[in-house]
Structure 1
Amino acid sequence: MSSSVPASDGQSTQELVETLQRAATAHEEAQKRVEEGGQERLEELQKFYDELLELFDRYEERATGDGDFGVFIEFQEKIANFVERLPEDLDHRDRFEEVDEILHQRRLTESDFEAARNELAPVADLVERLDERERTRERYQAARHDVAVRKRELEAEISEREELVALGEADLKAPIERLREPIETYNRTIEDVFREFKRETPASEVLSFVETTESYPLVAYRQPPDDLATYVERSEAGDESILTLLEYAEYSVSKLEHYVPNARELKRNVATHQTYLRRIDAGPLQIEWPPAEATTLWWRCRELIAVVGRIAPEDVVTKLRTVRDLPRETDYERLRESARARDQLDDDERERLASGAVADELSTLRQRRETLIEALSEYPER
């Protein structure tokens, strides 16, 4: 049912927490550098810096060397207009003005653009603080996400161990035959009834029966494909049993024409759904083993009684009512837990339960989960 707690699977709990701590520290330091530089001032500087770099990217190749003279003039005008629009109190405004001087020449080369970028290096360093803050925030969010994911995984593992412990407490000597016998008797009976129903009843009636179960969510038949349901309802072939239709589907068109009015129509609507037709069986009408908890069993039997009564004689419905009444007539939960334990526990799990290993695993998992909960509380979303 579940394995022992691994010493390490991927990153350990402590590694995940330490990664989150480092990411939080890096983000806090990056945030502090932004605050020292003044966030609004840095964002304003970034806006103009990015705009200027965009001009470089757009014009550098065409405005250097013997490029298009018209583009060269256009570029210098844009640079001049850009500098004129700069606020007087903009940090490093003089750097932008110096860039204008560097690029205000009769002929530009790649080295001129390189010199302009070097002149803007102090601006780039300041703007980088904003980028660094965003990068560290993303790393922080990713580290926190990893912690949250591992916490959910631990919760699933804890639930598995808790269920294992509950099963280990079951009375393995309880007389589960008091549940098994009426359930198996009903299941065998409804299987026989449905097999005959499918073999002897027209396909149109069988599919109509399946369609009625759509109103009963605890009777989980897969509904017939629309084209198949329409065909068996409207065609003479729908008067044949499903087994006959499946046999017809294997015939050649020429042979099939001796049995049905429109052979190609049957091929088109039945042959393509052979798997569906073969899989229609009593499964959704049977009671699972081990059985569900008492309330679920009662509601499922309630729906099954309404459905089974459409195709089965009263004695079958009576057997189903007997199953429905098991929680009232027996020590149901004790017997059910015993049945679940016998069905689900293997020898290794029983040995681990007896030795106390599962209890130890559960304690370890809970400690790891608590560590992650504390980390998520200490380092909230940012």
Structure 2
Amino acid sequence: MSEAAARLREAEREHQQARQAVEERGRDGLEQVADAYGEATKLLDNYVDTATGSGDFQAYVEFQERFATLVEDLPEDVAHRDAFETALDRTDKRRLSESDFQATREALEPAEEAAELLEAEREAREAYREAEKAAKRRLGTVKDRIAECERLQELGEADLDAPVEDLRGPIETYDEAVVEAFQDYRLDASAREVLAFAADAAEYPLVAVREPPTELVEFVESHEAGTETIPRLLELADYSRSKLEHYVDDPVELTRAVSTRQTYLDRLDGSGLRLGWPPGPAEQLRRRCEERISLVSRFASEDVVATLRTVRELTWREDYDRLRTAAVALTDLGEEERERLASGAVADELADLREEKAELQDVLGIAE
């Protein structure tokens, strides 16, 4: 049995034993004794320094009165009432010493043992809850690892001789071309136009272009400097205030809007329009292509768009899944993974994980 499952099983057993011990003695009665014992020890702790010897007479009187009231108010049938009465007798003296306080504590030991049963149950219950949480965390980890091993096995079955270049060639050609085309776009188009494009691209869920900052958009739309290119805006933002006054009407606004957004502008480089390698499932790649076609056609040549359409058409190939699985396998499977697959280590680990999963689900009472 796995460590987490065994720990939970043991914690459950200890909790049941502790709870049974309390139920056998009577929970209500034990709680009465525990409350009274707690109050008694609190009084002993609070007054041991002030009510002993020739100390504070008022503290001595208060302690005796409060301790007597505590004992007298106990129900007649409360468990270990005799222990509290014996303890009270130990305090019935004209002068109290530390040894009297110690003797009073010793007289309360039967009540202490009763209170400890409740504390033991509380600790066992807490230990069970912690073990249960740990088992649930472990179950989540095991499920994740099972998924990873199953994926490794699936990749291990890939046809590594499949003509993966039929996919790789068009995708890599497009990825390189679209970034190059966007770089030219940044050099030629106004910042106002490029940021408008970025705002539109950000609306597409499968395009990794962030929405431009609002203050930056407002600046380029409302100032003449917005007709400059992004590289030129970044260059101007590096000028000193006095030098910048010769080029723009509102140098303060330009500095505030552009300088603080330099990271965003630097990262707006067209990389978010790439498809990436290896490709995803056919339907996903098809949608990624379709989203990009309308965007890329706004700044790139027809050759770039045509390559993108070629990639989209590849998703309709009957052997697309075979090619994609091979592409993922060639990309993701390192030498170590291939050796573990070949030796059967992955299969052995998967079997162990599935067994542990079943054990954890059983001890947690979770159905498959």
- The normalised TM-score by structure 1 is 0.86
* Deviation (angstroms), 1:296: 1.4
- 2:209 maps to what in 1? 221
Runs of 4+ in 1 over 4 A off after TM superposition: none
Shift of 1:315: 5.0
Alpha-carbon spacing, 1:64–1:199, altered in 2? closer, same or farther (3 Å): farther
User: CA, structure 1 residues 109+308, in 2 after alignment: closer, same or farther (shift >3 Å)?
Assistant: farther
Q: How does 1:359-378 map to 2 (within 5 A)?
A: 359-377=347-365
Amino acid at match of 1:178: D
The change in CA–CA distance for 1:235 and 1:30 in structure 2 (over 3 A counts) is same
Name structure 2 gaps, 5 residues minimum.
none
Corresponding position: 1:113 with 2:101: yes
CA distance in 1, matches of 2:344, 2:191: 57
SS of aligned partner of 1:61: coil
Q: What is the CA–CA distance in structure 1 between the aligned matches of 2:320 and 2:91, rounded to whole Å?
A: 89
C-alpha deviation, 1:149, in angstroms: 2.4
Q: Which residue of 2 aligns with 1:127?
A: 115
Q: 1:305 to 1:63 in 2, by over 3 A?
A: farther
Task: Report the residue type matching 2:127 in the other structure.
Answer: R
The Cα shift of 1:313 comes to 5.0
Tell me which residue corresponds to 1:275.
263
Matched pairs, number = 367
Equivalent residue for 2:247, pick from 259, 273, 278: 259
1:192-203 matches, within 5 Å, as 192-203=180-191
User: For 1:215, what is the secondary structure of its paired residue?
Assistant: coil
Aligned with 1:331 (options 297, 314, 319): 319
Letter in 2 for 1:308: V
Q: Does 1:40 align with 2:18?
A: no
Q: 2:311, 2:55 → 1: CA distance?
A: 91
Partner Cα distance (2:290, 2:73) in 1: 79
Distance 1:226 1:77 in 2: 73
1:138 aligns with 2:104: no
2:220 aligns with one of 228, 232, 238? 232
Further displaced range: 115-124 or 356-365: 356-365
Measure the CA separation in 1 of the matches of 2:294 and 2:108. 81
SS of the equivalent of 2:315 reads helix
Question: Given residue 165 of structure 1, which amino acid in structure 2 is its aligned partner?
Answer: Q
Tell me if 1:94 matches 2:82: yes
Q: Give, in angstroms, the shift of residue 337 of structure 1.
A: 0.7
Distance 1:66-1:227 versus aligned 2 partners, 3 A rule: farther
Identity, in percent, stands at 47
- Residues 98-119 of structure 1 show CA distances to partners (whole Å, capped at 9, x for unaligned) of 3333224343332222222111
Deviation at 1:211, TM superposition (A): 1.9
How many Å apart are 1:88 and its aligned residue?
1.4
Q: Are 1:161 and 2:153 an aligned pair?
A: no
SS at 2:160 equivalent: coil
- Between 1:51-60 and 1:109-118, the stretch displaced more is 51-60
Q: Match for 2:354: what amino acid?
A: R
Say yes or no: does 1:79 pair with 2:67: yes
Shift of residue 223 of structure 1? 2.5
Any gaps of 5 or more consecutive residues in structure 1?
A: 1-12
Question: Is 1:351 matched with 2:334?
Answer: no
Distance 1:71 1:306 in 2: 88
- One-letter code aligned to 2:286: W
Instruction: Kindly provide the amino acid, as one letter, of the partner of residue 274 in structure 2.
Output: Q
Q: State the AA in 2 paired with 1:72.
A: Y
Deviation at 1:126, TM superposition (A): 0.7
Q: CA deviation at 1:41?
A: 1.1
Equivalence map 1:170-249=2 (5 Å): 170-249=158-237
Tell me the CA shift for residue 180 of structure 1.
1.9
Shift of residue 42 of structure 1? 0.8
Q: Deviations over 1:268-318 (max 9, x none)?
A: 332222222111121221112111101212222232234334444555444
Task: Quote the offset at 1:79 in angstroms.
Answer: 2.3
Q: Cα–Cα, structure 1 residues 57 and 189, in superposed 2: closer, same or farther, change >3 Å?
A: same
TM-score (structure 2 length as normaliser): 0.89
